[in-house]
Amino acid sequence: MDLTSLIYLTGASGFFTSRAFIPAFFTAVFLRYGEHFPWIGTMEFVQTTGAEPTWFTNNYTILALGVLSILEVGATKIPEAQEALDGVHKYAKTGLSALAAMGVLGSRDIAFAEGMISQAGVFEMVVSAVVGGAVFFFSTIRSGVMDLLAMSDPDDDLGIRGLISWFEDLWSSFGIFLLILYPFVILTVLAVVLGLLFAMRKWAEYKEEKSRIPCTSCGELVYACAVECPKCHTAVENPKDIGFFSQTVDRPAQPGKEQELRLVSKRRCAKCATRIEKRRLPQSCPVCEHSILSDRADQELYTAKVRNRLPKVLGVTFLLSLVPILGIIPGIIYYRIQLIAPFRAYIPASRGFVLRWVVRILFLLLISLQLIPGLGGFMVPIMALISYALYSGYFNKTLREGSSPA
């Protein structure tokens, strides 16, 4: 293995952190057909990579990777599918990166024949393992950041995860070719991006831990936004409020049950403020074992709290809907955050997926009617009412059924 291959594999590991199949697909295409691309076709590295197709640059392998890449792009645009992928995605990225590393090393070997394992030397196997390990490490960091966004905004109403997803698609696709043309520049960019992800995750963990305060009774560290200690259940004096991204903010909490309901709406335990990862009801807090919304009175208060927002939401969305085209996006984001997110946070992903697409198809007609003068002002409020009715109905059904599979 030469220095050029080592540089390429080091840089490519950064692209596998974002996607599993896209970098593998473009790497295989580059190895097989790179000499036909402008600018890079005359490079020595390209001309020595695969006059003879290998297992990795075989047309069937490229076709399979291409199909899987398209499916991967589609899946990452749907929050429910993305959540399902996150559990196994980093393992797929790790495996694909190691296989791609073997493919690069194998295509650089003139004597390469059948059987990748028997042909690859010990050093090549070590390099592949190192590349896979690096991808697993950085994928874990990325998952931590994306999990924080997913718990704060499960429906991606703000579009932050969608924007990141499109950027990662472009980055994984075209970054591979930039790596060939400007290897050291791309390596620097990768180092900066991965460093920022690492710093963001550590900063979030630091802020979360720094928000803890000692319990006045037993000394146990408790989140400042919690209502009581998870160990001795002593009430927290003057708890702090919780922000949009479910982080502790430096302002007084809302009084009484309001704080507990606000914690629940942000997918945190109503008592100790521990983050709740599962999307189902009923369920117990993994730390203090408090049962989330198990009490009928709490359920009624929670649904009433959301229902009381309807008049304000309908008024705001009516005013926004009067602005053709431009008023739709902020109007939809506003009513989803206010009316839908508190319910959807506890609707199982399987139901949420079906419900989301039913709502999307229904709203295609309503959005087209928004262009009609006078009538357009009622479109977003109608969308808000329909969404509220459907999601609140599913939420109440989940409560009635008791435990549902996540």
Residue 299 belongs to some domain of the structure? no
Give yes or no: residues 71 and 27 share one domain. Answer: yes
Residue 393 belongs to some domain of the structure? yes
Give yes or no: residues 7 and 96 share one domain. Answer: yes
> What integer is the mean pLDDT of 357-371?
67
Residues 222, 230 contacting (CB under 8 angstroms): yes
Residue 406 belongs to some domain of the structure? no
Residue 301 belongs to some domain of the structure? no
What tens digit of pLDDT does each residue of 61-107 get?
A: 888 888 888 888 887 777 666 666 666 666 777 777 777 777 666 65
pLDDT of residue 372: 62
* DSSP structure string for 3-41: HHHHHHHHHHHHHHTT-SHHHHHHHHHHHHHGGGSTTTT
Residue 32 belongs to some domain of the structure? yes
Give yes or no: residues 183 and 75 share one domain. Answer: yes
pLDDT range class, residue 406, cuts 50, 70, 90: very low
Q: What is the number of structural domains in the chain?
A: 3
Give yes or no: residues 58 and 106 share one domain. Answer: yes
Task: Using the 3D structure, point to which of 235, 269, 294 is the last residue of a domain.
Answer: 294
Give yes or no: residues 169 and 318 share one domain. Answer: no
Residues 336, 316 contacting (CB under 8 angstroms): no
Give yes or no: residues 158 and 14 share one domain. Answer: yes
Domain coverage including residue 224: 212-294
* DSSP structure string for 293-304: T-SHHHHHHHHH
pLDDT of residue 312: 92
What tens digit of pLDDT does each residue of 16-39 get?
A: 777 888 888 888 887 777 777 766
Give the pairing type, strands 240-242 and 212-214. unpaired
- On the question of a cis peptide bond just before residue 282, with omega within 30 degrees of 0, the verdict is yes
Give yes or no: residues 89 and 127 share one domain. Answer: yes
Give yes or no: residues 219 and 271 share one domain. Answer: yes
Task: Using the 3D structure, point to which of 207, 234, 257 is the last residue of a domain.
Answer: 207
Residue 300 belongs to some domain of the structure? no
Task: Using the 3D structure, point to which of 184, 207, 230 is the last residue of a domain.
Answer: 207
Residue 324 belongs to some domain of the structure? yes
Give yes or no: residues 146 and 262 share one domain. Answer: no
